[in-house]
């Protein structure tokens, strides 16, 4: 199994705007398991401590293998959500690792 972990730092400096963007991203990501069967498990969480230092949002998702992750990444529903994320994110960091 492949675990896909992505951290997002939003570009917004206004707290209200950032909170709205976090909610929009979280809602979009949480909608994906209903239409993308490759997603075995998905968690999305907003940062609650140290907002200036920490990333704003995390995605943790599990896939059967690297091929399933690749299919998820090109799925049209994922592309819609990813397009919005790219429009508001200042920084992104990711790790994909094998879970045994």
pTM for the predicted model, two decimal places: 0.94
Tokens linked to 70: 């690749």
Q: What is the sign of the dihedral through the CA atoms of 25, 27, 28 and 32?
A: positive
Count Cβ atoms within 10 A of the Cβ of residue 95 and give its class: 0-12 exposed, 13-18 middle, 19 or more buried: exposed
Tokens linked to 86: 């790219």
**pLDDT tens-digit map of 72-82:** 999 999 999 99
**pLDDT tens-digit map of 6-36:** 999 999 989 999 999 999 999 999 999 999 9
Count Cβ atoms within 10 A of the Cβ of residue 65 and give its class: 0-12 exposed, 13-18 middle, 19 or more buried: exposed
């Amino acid at each position: 199994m492949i675990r896909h972990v992505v951290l997002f730092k939003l570009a917004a400096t206004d707290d209200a705007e950032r909170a709205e963007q976090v909610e929009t991203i979280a809602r979009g990501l949480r909608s994906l398991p209903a239409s993308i069967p490759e997603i075995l498990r998905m968690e999305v969480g907003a940062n609650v401590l140290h907002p200036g230092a920490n990333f704003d949002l995390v995605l943790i998702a599990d896939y059967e293998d690297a091929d399933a992750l690749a299919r998820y990444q090109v799925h049209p529903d994922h592309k819609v959500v990813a397009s919005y994320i790219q429009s508001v994110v200042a920084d992104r960091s990711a790790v994909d690792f094998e879970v045994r």
